[in-house]
Structure 1
Amino acid sequence: MADRYRIFGVELSPYSVKVRSYFRYKGIPHQWIIRNADSQAEYQKYARLPIVPLVVTPENEGLQDSTPIIERMESVYPQPSIHPSDPVAAFVSVLLEEFGDEWGNKWMFHYRWARDVDQLSCAGRLARMMMPAADEAQLSTMIAQVRERMVGRVWFVGSSPQTAPQIEDSFCETLAMLETHLANRAYLFGARPAFGDFAMWGQLYNLWTDPTPGAIIEARATNVLAWIHRMLWPRAEGNFEDWASLEPTLMPLLERQVGRLFMPWTTANASAIAGGREEFSVELAGRTWTQKPQKYHAKSLAALREKYAALPEKYAALPDKRAIDAVLDRAGCLAGLRG
């Protein structure tokens, strides 16, 4: 196994399966290791933070955080590229990668722990994964512990009685728009997966495994469901599309979800962190959203802004940057990215 990467992860972690899907697409030799009691000692040798996924390189270097992991691996395995050649499509993919990781996780975490049926389903699966050799009494105790702990953490993604309708409306609206967008294409940006596919998929795949959102997906979004299955073992089936062909069905998602909800939320979160506030409120599409700020989200927005700021260096031709700015401005994202 010395020539293989090792991925310590959990099937119920959207970031773990996101990285695994990427490794599968690239054909990178790897071993998938479930992080549980059996693998914990080996995991702790390399993990700096108690999170998954953890990727251990053949040189025994530990890598964490799904986006930097993929960016690091893309520099080592650049082909097939996950970035469209069209500059506008390429940056929209980067933007959707951030949106999937940070806003899509609100859908996943909220649905998973908001209702009894989903709580019991996930707590049971997690307990059996964590303690594969446990007897029924031990499992029952562990299920109760997992459920109590995770239900008490829904505030982390901003889920509350106040925000629950906003989160569920956002999920259902996004699902409807993706269903239209995926009607005649295999992946979000054409006939092969892009950077944005992996992050969006990690959340939606996990949503599909839970009873309530899974039933919604299966009842309303057969094209999305096919894409969810496809992304388990993604492959290049053709080329990326240019922005002109993607825009009619992808722009509504940018406008109504990324620009109208995600961008004002993430900038408000960053401002709250900068101001040392313990709670913040922001108006999202006419409804008030209140939650405790999260430091990681502020860090993630800073990284996204750095990617935007680097565009003039990446695309020397000014018209490309102007085209990107025009799309971002129309979507309501430009001011937030400029900071």
Structure 2
Amino acid sequence: MSTRPPFTLYGSNASPYSCKMRALMRYRRLHFTWVPLNPMEMASHPNPNIRALKAKVIPVLEWPDGRVLNDSTVIIDALEAEFRDGRTVVPPAGPARFLAKLLEDFFDEWLMKAMFNRRWSSEVDRDWSGRWIISDQLMSAPELVTLPSPSQTSGLIKFFRDRQVGRLALVGCEDDKLWQHVMYEVVGALDMQLRSGDACRFLLGPHPTCADFALFGVLKQLSLDHTAGRFIQDHFDAAYGWVLAMDDLSGLETDVDWKSLHMDTPAVKKILKLISAMYMPYLVANGKATRGEWVEVEFHLDDGQTFRHKEKFGPYQKKCLDDLKRHYEQLTAS
């Protein structure tokens, strides 16, 4: 690990973005302390810089000098600008940079919805997820000397579970068939690539990019969940093993050579079809909407399947579209 003064990474084991950043920090060998943080406690946090963050979302990264940032994509870009060593994760320019950013965004925003659906749709998953997430938060609560009894935590579990289930429609995660399809396609694409001859161990080649860590963050959550975790173990064991390995790549010796990237790996080609058929039409439709409106879009897949998607306008997703346009303009101008 680095001899620099440590960063502090605040997050949760139940957050795909927190797990994404923790794995990335390990890979980059940036010395950090992991501190569990519930987003609902950010407004009253003892650190005034955390209290002052406009968006109360995790992860939060605190620099040794006291600066703080949240939003994993923003944090990654800040680290890339500051630490240009042999373990960077964002290609510096050209098509590779745009592709890595596009994939990262897709996993962060679209595959995450599949995870949220799988976690909170069925009764057995709701029960399991509510219990393990609250248990994890209690285990890491610094103010607790002893853990409360199950009878004492049942109300907290129910409150958290009901809140999450109540968000399914708002964020467009109610359609089990749609999100099961998305999960199967992405995990299956990764598993297929890992099983092929002379397989690239990462999405774009011999070393990971920001896209790999975004994919890992979501798959880590799916692997922890009741139904999805067992399904991935039983049917996509190569992908499951990849998730286990991605959690800590600090020991992976690599000297990043961006010229060695492969932008047409089997997994990427299959995932790009999904982005073209689903994610981009959604982003365009959301970009035309305004706050408070419902976004409705129909997806027509090559295999003849049709899905209808509906969710409330997402201002952050509109920003995602603007960012992708900016990355594309930089690509075409180069």
Length-normalised TM-score, structure 2: 0.85
- Pick the aligned partner of 1:90 from 77, 85, 97: 97
> How many Å apart are 1:102 and its aligned residue?
0.6
> How many Å apart are 1:289 and its aligned residue?
1.4
> How many Å apart are 1:136 and its aligned residue?
2.4
- What pairs up with 1:238-257 in 2 under 5 angstroms? 242=260, 246-255=264-273, 257=274
1:260 matched to 2:277: yes
After the TM superposition, which segments of 4 or more aligned residues of structure 1 sit over 4 Å from their partners?
36-40, 236-245
Q: Which residue of 2 aligns with 1:35?
A: 37
- Pick the aligned partner of 1:103 from 106, 110, 113: 110
User: Which stretch shifts more, 103-112 or 39-48?
Assistant: 39-48
CA RMSD of aligned residues (A): 2.4
Change (3 A) 1:245 1:29: closer
- Pick the aligned partner of 1:73 from 79, 83, 90: 79
SS at match of 1:82: coil
- Pick the aligned partner of 1:304 from 321, 324, 331: 324
TM-superposition CA deviations, 1:272-301 (whole Å, max 9, x none): 12xx55212111123221221111111121
Q: Which residue of 2 aligns with 1:157?
A: 171
Count matched residues.
Answer: 309
1:213 matched to 2:220: no
Q: Which residue of 2 aligns with 1:147?
A: 161
Q: Which residue of 2 aligns with 1:331?
A: none
Write 1 or 2 for the structure with the bigger share of helix. Answer: 1
Q: Which residue of 1 aligns with 2:142?
A: none
User: Which stretch shifts more, 234-243 or 175-184?
Assistant: 234-243
Residues 97, 200 of structure 1: 8 Å contact kept: yes
- Pick the aligned partner of 1:185 from 200, 205, 213: 200
Distance 1:103 1:38 in 2: 27
Q: Which residue of 2 aligns with 1:20?
A: 22
Partner AA of 1:11 in structure 2: N
> How many Å apart are 1:164 and its aligned residue?
2.0
Residues 120, 165 of structure 2: 8 Å contact kept: yes
Runs of 5+ unmatched residues, structure 2: 140-146, 301-305
Distance 1:302 1:281 in 2: 19
Distance 2:93 2:56 in 1: 38
Runs of 5+ unmatched residues, structure 1: 316-339
1:62 matched to 2:68: yes
User: Which stretch shifts more, 303-312 or 4-13?
Assistant: 303-312
Length-normalised TM-score, structure 1: 0.84
Percent identical across equivalent pairs? Answer: 27
> How many Å apart are 1:110 and its aligned residue?
0.6
